[in-house]
Amino acid sequence: MTENMRESMEYDVVIVGAGPAGLSAAIRLKQLDAELSVVVLEKGSEVGAHILSGAVLDTSGIDALIPDWKSKGAPITVPVKKDNFYMLGAAGKLRIPIFLMPPLMNNHGKYIVSMGNVCRWMAEYAEGLGVEIFPGMACSELVFGDAGEVKGVVAGEFGKNSDGTPSDAYEPGMELLGKYVFLSEGVRGSLSKGVIAKYDLAQNSDVAKFGLGMKEIWEIDPAKHRQGTVTHTMGWPLNANAGGGSFFYHLENNQVYVGFVVHLNYKNPHLHPYMEFQRFKHHPMVEELLKGGKRIAYGARAITEGGWQSVPKVVFPGGALLGCSAGLVNVPRIKGNHNAMLSGKAAAEAAVAAIKDGRSGDELAAYETDLRSGPIAKDLKRVRNVKPLWSRFGLLVSLGLGGFDMWTNNLFGFSVLGTLKHGKSDAESTGLAADYAKIDYPKPDGTLSFDRLTNVSFAMTNHEESQPAHLHLNDASIPIDVNLPKFDEPAQRYCPAGVYEVVTEEGKDPRFVINFQNCVHCKTCDIKDPSQNINWTVPQGGDGPNYPNM
Ligand SMILES: Cc1cc2nc3c(=O)[nH]c(=O)nc-3n(C[C@H](O)[C@H](O)[C@H](O)COP(=O)(O)OP(=O)(O)OC[C@H]3O[C@@H](n4cnc5c(N)ncnc54)[C@H](O)[C@@H]3O)c2cc1C
């Protein structure tokens, strides 16, 4: 069988990715016009399998989409009761009173949720409206029309040999064609990256910025569990090395989400984000909480941090970028799910109006207008200077200045700082190995802290080994010839799943090994490689992590 034998199916709207953005778009399309044909394609083995979020949910998105979500049984049941914020030193902590923070930072009225479970529920809701959802279908290519517009995607290609040739079990996949194609792939989507480059969508926006979020689910001693408590920390162990922070969200069943975010603009190529997370858990405050508990799941995902000034143009001929494919996270609030939902809703409304007018394959300008002037703009604009201030001046100054800026934005609707620029991309921020000290990380103790490969087994990730690696190098010589001498090949450390190794054997040249089977689809390599030589592409559908309730 060959690629030319692909069958095609036609829909009104084709949606790539069953996250909050894609599912919201699907639901809104069918709410507005039950006759529309809508398909959602998801690379995870089931909806929710690849969803990793905090998550404290600001319900403004779901309120706008499904106002009666409560009575419809949405798994949004743990209201935030207590909000803590600490600055950490190596052994101590300083509580920052919440009243010093602008109201937008307050988590009261929000809910602690598993976004994986919220997405599973939204998918059922969408199917009830007649949306077709196909999990296990990775969208690997875009299909273009004669005028250069996006008119569909290729999904469900299976059975390639490791050298890329078709095996006996080869399935060429299908072309799913639509009047409009929505890309809701989340952060650093592989098709979205291609579309942004092809249509030059980022020409008028600042560079994209990212963090790496790592997360464990812990089951803790019931005596220490405080359902509804949200705690954020900043400071140790990152300090001057890198920006970032942690979160603890006490959900139900004595479980706590323990998360750690490292901003990917760190300079020292010896920094090991995963090991920073592990040593963080030995802080007395954290140790006290987790002692006697057990880690039951692990995962990692990049998070978009560029904010308002980095949002690219979100429409292109034949489609639109939704949610984190457009970078809609409010960084100081660490929240993007509400904006993902609102973007899905707005794109759907624009598409329904266009289809009613007999249009297809053009730009949905109404969606761009809504995004630039509606609730998403309001949410992102007032925090737009926090990240650039942090990148320039570090944590303490940015807390003061960023806080002041958010207050003036909040009270008066303007910033005395205007809109600050981000400067370099995260890849360009990486400094030379020779200019920075190596960091000596304590060995994980196997109780509170774990080695990377043990933890990866708790992501339940799985990739069919006989397929080609889905992590492509533009130039196979760069890791050893360029990255190793200049940056001590940081892929060995920045990958939170231990995918990349430099193997040195006596009498032999060092080798760069890609253990793609371990990949948890976080996309950090695509973002942070200083030579921008790694392209993250989709493996065959159904492969990747199998997160329970992340
Ligand atoms: C550690 C961490 C903590 C966070 N905490 C919070 C929080 O507390 N509150 C909050 O509101 N936000 C939080 N966020 C941000 C939030 O997770 C994102 O804003 C949100 O997930 C964006 O939704 P999305 O639908 O755009 O993308 P995603 O949720 O990433 O969903 C994208 C989906 O598309 C699928 N997909 C991708 N590419 C393809 C393809 N080519 N073919 C088929 N399927 C594909 C993926 O498998 C996935 O299921 C956090 C993020 C991280 C990483």
Tokens of 88: 């950490």
CB distance 56 to 110 below 8 Å = yes
Q: Please, what's the b/e burial string for 125-144 (b: 16 or more CB within 10 A of its CB; e: otherwise)?
A: bbeeeebebbbbbbbbbbbe
Atom of ligand 1 nearest to the CA of 22: 25
User: CA–CA separation, 476 vs 512, rounded Å?
Assistant: 9
pLDDT of 406 reads 78
Check if 55 has its Cβ closer than 6 Å to any atom of ligand 1: yes
In this structure, the residue with its CA closest to atom 24 of ligand 1 is 186
pLDDT of 100 reads 78
* Secondary structure class of 456 (helix, strand, coil): helix
- DSSP secondary structure string for all residues of 201-248: TTTTSPPP-EEEEEEEEEE--GGG--TTEEEEEEETTTTTT--EEEEE
Which region, left, alpha or beta, applies to residue 261 given φ > 0 means left and ψ of -120 to 50 means alpha?
beta
pLDDT of 433 reads 98
Distance 50 CA to ligand 1 centre (A): 8
Other C-beta atoms lying within 10 Å of the C-beta of residue 158: 19
Question: Residue type at 267?
Answer: K
Check if 139 has its Cβ closer than 6 Å to any atom of ligand 1: yes
In this structure, the residue with its CA closest to atom 35 of ligand 1 is 17
Check if 213 has its Cβ closer than 6 Å to any atom of ligand 1: yes
Long-range CB pairs of 69-78 (<8 Å, 24+ gap) are 72/125, 73/121, 74/118, 74/121, 75/113, 75/114, 75/117, 75/118, 75/120, 75/121, 76/111, 76/113, 76/118, 77/111, 77/252, 78/111, 78/112, 78/113, 78/227, 78/228, 78/251, 78/252
Atom of ligand 1 nearest to the CA of 55: 8
pLDDT of 259 reads 98
Distance 373 CA to ligand 1 centre (A): 23
Atom of ligand 1 nearest to the CA of 48: 49
Select from 27, 47, 52, 53 the residue to mutate for testing ligand 1; criterion: most ligand atoms less than 8 Å from CB: 53
Burial of 96 (0-12, 13-18, 19+ CB in 10 A): middle
Distance 259 CA to ligand 1 centre (A): 15
Q: Per residue of the chain (550 residues), give pLDDT as tens.
A: 455 679 999 999 999 999 999 999 999 999 999 999 999 999 999 999 999 998 999 999 999 999 999 999 999 999 999 999 999 999 999 998 887 777 888 899 999 999 999 999 999 999 999 999 999 999 999 999 999 999 999 999 999 999 999 999 999 999 999 999 999 999 999 999 999 999 999 999 999 999 999 999 999 999 999 999 999 999 999 977 899 999 999 999 999 999 999 999 999 999 999 999 999 999 999 999 999 999 999 999 999 999 999 999 999 999 999 999 999 999 999 999 999 999 999 999 999 999 999 999 999 999 999 999 999 999 999 999 989 988 888 877 777 777 777 778 777 777 888 899 999 999 999 999 999 999 999 999 999 999 999 999 999 999 999 999 999 999 999 999 999 999 999 999 999 999 999 999 999 999 999 999 999 999 999 999 999 999 999 999 999 999 999 9
Distance 44 CA to ligand 1 centre (A): 12
CB distance 339 to 330 below 8 Å = yes
Check if 61 has its Cβ closer than 6 Å to any atom of ligand 1: no
Check if 45 has its Cβ closer than 6 Å to any atom of ligand 1: no
Distance 223 CA to ligand 1 centre (A): 32
Tokens of 161: 């040999």
Distance 53 CA to ligand 1 centre (A): 6
Distance 52 CA to ligand 1 centre (A): 6
pLDDT of 3 reads 55
The three-state (H, E, C) secondary structure of 264-322, written as one string: CCCCCCCCCHHHHHHHHCCCHHHHHHHCCCEEEEEEEEEEECCCHHHCCCCEECCEEEC
Q: What are the start-end ranges of the H helices in 413-438?
A: 426-429
Other C-beta atoms lying within 10 Å of the C-beta of residue 32: 16
User: For residue 237, what are the CA distances in angstroms to 70, 134, 191, 240?
Assistant: 40, 42, 36, 9
Nearest in space to 230 (alpha carbons), one of 60, 126, 111: 111
In this structure, the residue with its CA closest to atom 20 of ligand 1 is 337
Distance 509 CA to ligand 1 centre (A): 39
Select from 58, 324, 342, 546 the residue to mutate for testing ligand 1; criterion: most ligand atoms less than 8 Å from CB: 324
Check if 17 has its Cβ closer than 6 Å to any atom of ligand 1: yes
Distance 299 CA to ligand 1 centre (A): 12
Tokens of 38: 């809508």
Check if 251 has its Cβ closer than 6 Å to any atom of ligand 1: no
Strands (E), 43-149: 56-57, 78-79, 82-88, 93-95, 111-112, 132-135, 139-144
CB distance 248 to 258 below 8 Å = yes
Tokens of 85: 């914020």
Distance 336 CA to ligand 1 centre (A): 8
pLDDT, tens digit, 9 for 90 and up, residues 364-398: 999 999 999 999 999 999 999 989 988 888 877 77
User: CA–CA separation, 540 vs 155, rounded Å?
Assistant: 9
